[in-house]
Amino acid sequence: MSNNTKKQSLLGKTPQKRKTPVKKPRNRPQTAPQSSANPTSTPAEQPVKSKKGLLITLAIIFAVAIIFPKPTLLTYKKLGLVSESIYWPGVFGYGRTLLDSNLHPQLDEKRNALYLCADMKAPQSCQKYQLIKNNGFFAALASYI
């Protein structure tokens, strides 16, 4: 005289029964000695492959670090006003930028000058700044953080 009711969750979804995983027996390797004439791969060859992959990965990272430009921290002044900006030299000279400016920079390290131009086609729009310091990558990273 009891009523069997089905359990329902919200939105009409019914709970599903979970299947228990079937345990598979483990295969144990044979402990019989193998002949030395058998040319199979040995465990000593596997670390060599992983070391080779590690060396290839490190070589790729090293090549990327050399090829791609690194930002520098520039300190420059004009009329007594000193400013610091992170300068990104771009790839092969294209895409040069100062991270805190919308002007187009042109760095002349021989003359210790930084030219900031509003329009690259009109040289009258450029202003010359005296370059005080050209710090490296880690100074730019510390300034950005």
Indicate whether 52 pLDDT > 80: yes
| pLDDT for the residue numbered 30 | 62
| Mean pLDDT of the chain, nearest integer | 78
Q: What is the pLDDT of residues 125-141, one digit of tens each?
A: 889 999 998 888 888 87
Contact in structure between 102 and 86 (CB atoms under 8 Å): no
What residue ranges do the domains of the chain occupy? 72-144
